[in-house]
Amino acid sequence: MGRFSKNRWLAHTPTKGENWHYLDDHLESVAKLAAQFASKFHSQDYGRIAGLLHDVGKAGQEFRTYLEYCYQNPEKKIRGPDHSSVGAILAAQHYWEGLAFIVAGHHAGLPKPSDLSQRLQVKQRDPDVQKILAAAKMVITLPKSPAPPPITSPLQCDLFLRMLFSSLVDADYLDTEKHFNPLQSQLRSQKYHIGEMFAALEQKLAQFSGKDQTPVNKARHEILQYCLEAASLEPGFFRLTVPTGGGKTLSGLAFALKHACIYNRQRIIVAIPYTSIIDQTAQVYGEIFGQERLVEHHSAINLIDEEQDFVNLQWSRLAAENWDAPLIVTTTVQLFESLFAHRPAACRKLHNLVESIIFLDEVQTLPSGLLEPILEVLEQLVDSYGVSVIFSTATQPALTEAESPFMKAVRGHVREIVPSPGGYFQALNRVTYELPLEKWSWEKVAAETLTEPQCLVIVNTKSDALALLKHLADAEVFHLSTLLCTAHRRKVLQAIKRRLAAGKPCLVVATQVVESGVDLDFPVVFRAIGPLDRIVQAAGRCNREGKLKQGKVVVFVPAEGKMPPGDYQSGTDLTAAILKNSQINLNTPELYTSYFQRVYQAVETDKQGINKLREQLNFPKVDRKFRMIEDDTVPLVVHYPRDNSPAGLLLSRIKNMDCSQFGEVRQLYRLLQPYLINVRQCLLGEYQQQGLIQELPLGLWEWLGDYHEVWGLWDKTLDPEKLVV
């Protein structure tokens, strides 16, 4: 066994080089890193104390015996002695009691106050804990108590503790990684600068912006110039109100990069509602900056890329763990569920939001039932953590207190990046709307679409999409929905774009997955009636490049159609009432603010009582209750394509592994991402009884039922709405 000094306590078992990780070294290193991270929000003293205290409970013979056993029996996984309570007791006795949450939860997650209080009371009466407390005070010198943290409300306390927790757990992860895997730790040292990226974007934009004087490209160039001019404004809240097809993907990034250069910001987080948009956005950014400067962090990321340098690929994966990269492309789900999480892995990245720029694309898709806690946290990030936030969309929701005085909305001033954006909505008006009054059967919808050489039909539900596909059974038709895995959707999108570019017939039936940010350009779009913003987003797929004098958007009412419940249904009802006015102008941005005012007034904007739970510091319950997607889901592996699917090879490797190869199994799981579909957890038992699925390691399930080359995942006995989220 590797030798160690009997006079020093241990933090971790040795590496292959027989180097034990001594506790005093670990505590000092973590304290230094945590202080560095917390210094970004002027709390370095608390970061240092948390780092010194977090593992001090390992100063005892019981933990040394445990580590020796682990070293001698690496194949056996046993739970170690509690080592966080000692540091939590010291934090509560000598410092601000909030530190006890941080230290006590650095492995298991931030606790709720009653559980923490009970735990510390019990531990303080334990004679063994008293011995470790005495030993712990010999390992570290307790610093003087710093000034109280700058907190004036319970909600500020909630976010401050999360930021401090993030600083500690990331420091702990990084120092532990440095001990066990120094080569991996070195990969993290790659740094890329915002200034270089802005220069690369300017060079790219100079190649085409302002060169082509078509109305669409002229408007895009003017919007870009406004974005560059507004970048010098003081950090805070901004709006980028640009009609669909107005070039906000690059113009918004130009604003963010220049703003970051001026105000010395190191990170831009682009948060997007759908993975279908992320694929396209990340591809555009990657072509400009190189994939090595970009981190994609979402459930559909594919890490198999033979073109990408191995070191850069590894760095991208490591950076995704804590977002230590200049440009992050992620989902709004990943961003906000991390901000309201209580587990270390999810919270680890939060301190890297400090002094960042958060670009919220298609901001109108934020769930209305969670708006108040989301906006409250964003306001704190702007006011106390040096963040700039951009609300970007063609259909701006009513998120300021002046617009929505009936809810807790943004109190600060939200500045328009593009002044008087209404003029661009008129200039970029490339479609006419037709609003048939009678209800259409699927047979009627099919007949109407078949008269158009190229058209896109967007319906409200997956079951509606399949119903229409059955009426188009004899036609060559494409299908896009969440019934298709990511790899399948990518292939279908490529085929659609090729046919459109070649002027060939192209009929597509889709759900809302194509409505935001997917770069498709059809002469005709049929849209089943839905919420007003969804209709306008659908219109963004029509005559997108302005090649026609006018495209055509037909809004129809399906006679047999289904409707997602809740906000979607109420938004559709409100839209139906608005569209009865034959004089309505859908190219007026003020219309959408007014629409969202009425939507938000009719719903609870903190439906789960998240802010009240945050005031109580009930971190675990906040985590359980804050769900951007309400149904719990589990990943299901599908075999696509049906013959020679890469998923089959990956699964065969996973099935032949044991628990000792956990790390390799996790890597294979990442490689499976493009072949996963999320299904509702509550229905797993039903699928299992019918022999449609089988369980795999790491909480994965394999789909044994049919996977159709057009429809995707399906079973004739199951409702597709229940089948897939």
User: Ranked by mean pLDDT, which of 29-38, 82-91, 534-543, 667-676 comes out on top?
Assistant: 29-38
Flag whether 176 is in a domain: yes
Least confident of 26-30, 373-377, 579-583: 579-583
Question: Is a pLDDT exceeding 50 seen at residue 32?
Answer: yes
Convert the pLDDT of each residue in 288-307 to its tens digit. 887 666 676 655 443 333 33
Of 567, 571, 500, 564, nearest to 535 by C-alpha is 571
Question: Is a pLDDT exceeding 90 seen at residue 314?
Answer: no
Distance of CA 37 to the CA centre of its chain: 22
328 and 388 part of one domain: yes
d(CA 538, CA 576): 16
Q: What's the first-to-final CA gap in the chain, in angstroms?
A: 51
Among residues of the chain, what percentage have pLDDT more than 90?
52
Vertex 270: Cα angle to 268 and 274 (nearest 5):
165
* 482 or 725, higher pLDDT: 482
Domain total for the chain? Answer: 4
> Mean per-residue pLDDT for 423-447?
89
pLDDT at position 8, please?
Answer: 82
16 and 80 part of one domain: yes
d(CA 404, CA 719): 38
**What confidence category does residue 7 fall into, taking pLDDT thresholds of 50, 70 and 90?**
low
Convert the pLDDT of each residue in 613-629 to its tens digit. 999 999 999 999 999 87
pLDDT at position 178, please?
Answer: 83
Question: Is a pLDDT exceeding 70 seen at residue 105?
Answer: yes
Convert the pLDDT of each residue in 109-166 to its tens digit. 999 999 999 999 999 999 888 988 888 888 888 899 999 998 999 999 999 999 999 9
**What confidence category does residue 325 fall into, taking pLDDT thresholds of 50, 70 and 90?**
confident
141 and 229 part of one domain: no
Q: Which of 395, 426, 457 finishes a domain?
A: 426
Here the CATH number for the domain that contains residue 213 is 3.40.50.300
pLDDT at position 184, please?
Answer: 66
Convert the pLDDT of each residue in 221-279 to its tens digit. 999 999 999 999 999 999 999 988 788 889 999 999 999 999 999 899 999 887 656 76
545 and 437 part of one domain: yes
Flag whether 594 is in a domain: no
640 and 559 part of one domain: no
pTM, two decimal places? 0.89
Pairing between β-strand 693-695 and β-strand 701-703 as defined by DSSP bridges: antiparallel
Flag whether 219 is in a domain: yes
352 and 465 part of one domain: no
454 and 468 part of one domain: yes
User: Ranked by mean pLDDT, which of 68-77, 439-448, 578-587, 589-598 comes out on top?
Assistant: 439-448
> Mean per-residue pLDDT for 551-575?
91
d(CA 407, CA 399): 9
Of 648, 645, 646, 649, nearest to 709 by C-alpha is 645
* 361 or 718, higher pLDDT: 361
- Say if residues 537 and 395 touch (Cβ distance below 8 Å): yes
Q: State the number of CA atoms in the 13 A half-sphere of 602 facing the CB.
A: 15
522 and 374 part of one domain: no
Long-range CB contacts (within 8 A, 24+) of 214-223: 214/546, 215/427, 215/428, 215/546, 216/245, 216/428, 216/430, 216/545, 216/546, 219/246, 219/424, 219/427, 219/428, 220/246, 220/247, 220/251, 222/424, 223/247, 223/248, 223/251, 223/418, 223/424
**What confidence category does residue 287 fall into, taking pLDDT thresholds of 50, 70 and 90?**
confident
* 707 or 672, higher pLDDT: 707
pLDDT at position 331, please?
Answer: 87
578 and 680 part of one domain: no
- Say if residues 637 and 702 touch (Cβ distance below 8 Å): yes
Q: To the nearest whole number, what is the mean pLDDT of the chain?
A: 87
Flag whether 159 is in a domain: no
pLDDT at position 517, please?
Answer: 63
Flag whether 26 is in a domain: yes
Eight-class DSSP state of 694: E
Flag whether 609 is in a domain: no
pLDDT at position 623, please?
Answer: 96
Where do we find the tokens 């298991």? Answer: 108
Flag whether 158 is in a domain: no
259 and 127 part of one domain: no
Q: Which of 555, 586, 617 finishes a domain?
A: 586
Question: Is a pLDDT exceeding 50 seen at residue 21?
Answer: yes
pLDDT at position 301, please?
Answer: 41
305 and 440 part of one domain: no
Least confident of 349-358, 586-595, 679-688, 713-722: 713-722
State which residues form the domain around 492.
Answer: 430-586
- Say if residues 461 and 562 touch (Cβ distance below 8 Å): yes
Convert the pLDDT of each residue in 386-408 to its tens digit. 999 999 999 999 999 999 998 99
Flag whether 713 is in a domain: yes
Convert the pLDDT of each residue in 327-352 to its tens digit. 988 889 989 999 999 999 899 999 99
420 and 441 part of one domain: no
Least confident of 56-70, 474-488, 555-569: 56-70
d(CA 577, CA 234): 41
